[in-house]
Chains A and B, each alone.
Chain A
Amino acid sequence: MMKTGAEILCECLLKEGVEVVFGFPGGVLLPLYDTFPKYPELRHILVRHEQGAAHAADAYARVTGKIGVCLATSGPGATNLVTGIANAYLDSAPMLAITGQVPTFFIGKDAFQEVDITGVTIPITKYNHLVLDAAELAEYIREAIYVAQSGRPGPVLLDIPRDVLQTKTDFVFPEKVDLPGYKPKLFGHPAQIKKASDLINTVERPVIIAGRGVNVSRAFAELKELAEKSQIPVVTTFLGIGCFPESHVLSYGWLGMHGMGYANKAIHHSDLVVAIGMRFDDRATGVVSAFAPQARIIHIDIDAAEIGKNLNADVPIVGDIKNVLQVLNKQITKREHVSWLSQLDEWRAIHPATEVRDHEGLLPQYIIRQIHEVTKGDTIIVTDVGQHQMWAGQYFFYDKPNSFVSSGGLGTMGFGLPASIGAKVGAPHETVWCICGDGGFQMTVQELATMVQENLDINIAVMNNGWLGMVRQWQELIYEKRYFGTQLYNPDFVKIAEAYGIKGVKVNKKIDVRPAIEKAMAHKGPFLIEFVVEPEENVYPFVPPGKTLVEFLEMPSPSGSLKK
């Protein structure tokens, strides 16, 4: 059947199960925007900045497990996607970025709005191509989506010139993907799995570190079986939050720079680390040479290039986590680690990282806990980047997979607001809370308009402390309080919301927190709460850079007694 490139693109996206495209039009995309109305099943969400489209697609993918699609025009539109693509790359989110390109006869001539976006995005995509022939478009789309979603997921980019969108060609949806060089290894090596089970069956102080790979592989039941059968405590990474219920008796929080003291101690004193779908990121390990000094390491990951990258593994297993754990679980014996678990409980008692302390002023930690109480934990939390992000990880308890959406690897300020759009669009029946700082909120504030246009029921909490809090904290603790470039002169966030047509309230006092949260929840459509919080509150525990995981700083006393 003869179809234009633009029609082929729409048909292929629909055939691949894509329902939503986050996009922003431009000159070279006009043929596509002229075609969209013919495909009403394909929902187009108009963002206000292409970065927003990328973050929304990223969060959509994390919440649904399906591919997120973002669309931008050539030149500046394409370069505006770059931050969002890098974010998806570092956090392994499956994403298809489609960029318009100047017509083929202009390529390479520095035409108006021409940028070599495939060149720019080489280091931050799994796969990218400039499609020069409409006849090859369907094949490229199929390949790109397959690569993005399989193996270790990640972003892919297709750059499509205007004339390719306009050219009519015979359209056949390719049934097969032909990529001789791409073979994700799905099943772990039996001999390595045997070695792993032998270790698990004999050690005394094991710890599981579960990362985002468990979410990606949907190996929740398998992880639980492994932990319960062998009675191994589970610590997650920051991006692994939610892959193991935090209310579970074997859950011991998450590790790293702002992880729980008891989680870090557990790892430091363990004799076996079972690392599952994680990559020993520097924020997770502290000084890597002193990470888990007494432990042997079993490292399970689908990406062979992660094995031995940051830390040498005694037992490397390359494979899909769900498959590997299914085999592993058959080989492990029932164990009990009574004294080890009671040691961990003791550490948890002396390092209560998740207790909100008694304090007159308005603490961000208190607000997060109140959101947890009002929602009963049944919400998707989307965060921006900074102090509030760490508190959202610490003071909210996550029992549901993929209920925590945050920019971990890249630490992209400005991620929160557009990501909450993607989360809500992906999970329309879930409550979504977007927790932002006053700094990051202003980086992508324009997406408030998108929320209004799409009437998305998103609750936004802006923690206004008048500082770029995380940087200020480092200046305080590491640079002897030489504050520079971190104090913010802020607008009235409620008035900003109102200007966009969004209802909002400002909260200064503890007593008003709960009613405001309830009001936001009761309201249909976007609602913003500006919380004017303690300006110089710090995130603890804190493993300063260059220190090992057990050299964490805790909240200095007596700044208030801990509420038990």
Chain B
Amino acid sequence: MTRKHILVALVQDKPGVLNRIASTLRRRNFNIESIAVGHIEIPHLSRMTITLEGDDAKVEQVRKQLDRVVEVIRISDITYENPVEREMAMIKVKASASTRSEIIQIVDIFRANIVDVSPDSLIIVAVGNQEKVETFIELLRGFGIRELSRTGTIALPRGGAGPLTIDESKPLRHVVEHVLTEEEENLPNW
């Protein structure tokens, strides 16, 4: 079934990681709907939230391929875990003396905030899930949108430990030491 999926990933904060992830998705012909990246509570780690359209099996396949990227520590598809999703939009909308009060009413209904006022426009910040933000933008469209910027979705699964929760009792850093087995040591070098 094709639907919107939300992938969340814990990645090492190194150059090229975003590139590798985008490259893998592009190769499998996924169109990234949004991608949001930010640091988490542990130094040198970031969390990515990727939303994309796709068939369940294909998304699972690409998830496994993304998990192969060396810098990806964990990646999970939380689509079916009833996650809390939010995104933020900043909208600069035309506002004359005659339309301003109507806009403010809409802003109130959507619990959005006006963060900047100028004689002929307003900047409004709205937070909500994708559907709410889109409905809000549609309502403002009639007044004339001058600029629009959206963060893309971020999401957390509800309840206790999520798939990316770090268990502090266990060391996160998986330190590997490659020790040759005796058999490997004695391999015929032919």
Mutual binders A and B = yes
Interface residues of A (CB under 8 A from B): 63-66, 118-119, 122-123, 126-130, 146-147, 149-150, 175-183, 218, 303-305, 307-309, 427, 429-430
Interface of B, secondary structure class, is mixed
The one of B15, B23, B60, B70 in contact with A182, judged by C-beta atoms closer than 8 angstroms, is B70
Asked if B178 and A65 make an inter-chain contact with CB atoms under 8 angstroms apart, the answer reads no
CB distance from A108 to the nearest CB of B (A): 13
Alpha-carbon distance A64/B65, docked complex (angstroms): 28
**Separation of A128 and B16 alpha carbons in the complex (Å):** 9
* Complex contacts, B69 vs chain A, CB 8 Å: 181
Which chain B residue has the least Cβ–Cβ distance from A146? B178
Q: List 17 A-B contacts (CB under 8 A).
A: A63-B190, A122-B16, A122-B23, A127-B70, A129-B16, A150-B176, A176-B177, A177-B176, A181-B11, A181-B71, A181-B72, A182-B174, A182-B176, A304-B67, A305-B65, A305-B67, A307-B64
Contacts of B190 on A, CB cut-off 8 Å? Answer: 63, 427, 429-430
Please, how many angstroms separate the alpha-carbon atoms of A119 and B174 in the complex?
27
Contact of B174 among A126, A147, A180, A307 (CB under 8 A): A180
Q: How far is the CA of A173 from the CA of B64 in the complex (A)?
A: 33
A176-B175 in contact (CB<8A): yes
Complex alpha-carbon distance, A118 and B15, angstroms: 11
Count of chain B residues with a beta carbon within 8 Å of a chain A beta carbon:
32
Q: Which chain A residues lie closer than 8 Å to B27 at the CB level?
A: 123
- Chain A residue nearest to B21 in the complex (CB): A122
Q: How far is the CB of B66 from chain A (nearest CB, A)?
A: 9
Say yes or no: B68 contacts A305, CB within 8 Å: yes
> Within 8 Å CB of B187, what residues of A?
65, 218
Q: Does B20 contact A (CB under 8 A)?
A: yes
Contact A303 B68 (CB under 8 A): yes
Q: For residue B182, give the distance in angstroms from its CB to the closest CB of chain A.
A: 13
Of residues A127, A149, A178, A182, which shows the largest number of chain B Cβ atoms within 10 Å of its Cβ? Answer: A182
List of B residues within 8 angstroms of A429 by Cβ: 190
Provide the residues of chain B in CB contact with A118, threshold 8 Å. Answer: 16
Contact residues, B33-66 vs A (CB, 8 A): 57, 60-61, 64-65
Contact A183 B16 (CB under 8 A): no
Query: Assuming A119-B19, A122-B20, is B175 touching A177 (CB within 8 A)?
Result: yes
What residues of chain B lie closer than 8 Å to A129, measured between beta carbons? 16
B109 is an interface residue with CB less than 8 A from chain A = no
Chain A contacts for B178, CB-based, 8 A: 146, 149-150, 177
Q: Is the CB of B173 within 8 A of A178?
A: yes
Rounded to whole angstroms, the CA-CA distance of A63 and B64 in the bound complex is 30
- Chain A residue at minimum C-beta to C-beta distance from B57: A308
B86 CB → nearest A CB, Å: 26
B78 at the interface (CB under 8 A from A): no
Interface pairs A-B: 4 shortest CB-CB: A305-B64, A181-B73, A305-B65, A182-B70
Is residue B172 contacting chain A, with contact meaning CB distance below 8 A?
Answer: yes
Given contacts A146-B176, A176-B176, A182-B174, 6 further A-B contacts (CB under 8 A): A122-B19, A177-B175, A179-B70, A179-B176, A218-B187, A304-B67
If A123-B27, A150-B178, A309-B61 touch, does A180 touch B67 (CB 8 Å cutoff)? no
Counting chain A CB atoms within 10 Å of each CB, which of B11, B16, B72 scores highest? B16
**Residue on A nearest B22 in the bound complex, by CB:** A122
Do A181 and B70 touch (CB < 8 A)?
yes
- The answer to whether the Cβ of B12 comes within 8 Å of any Cβ in the partner chain is yes
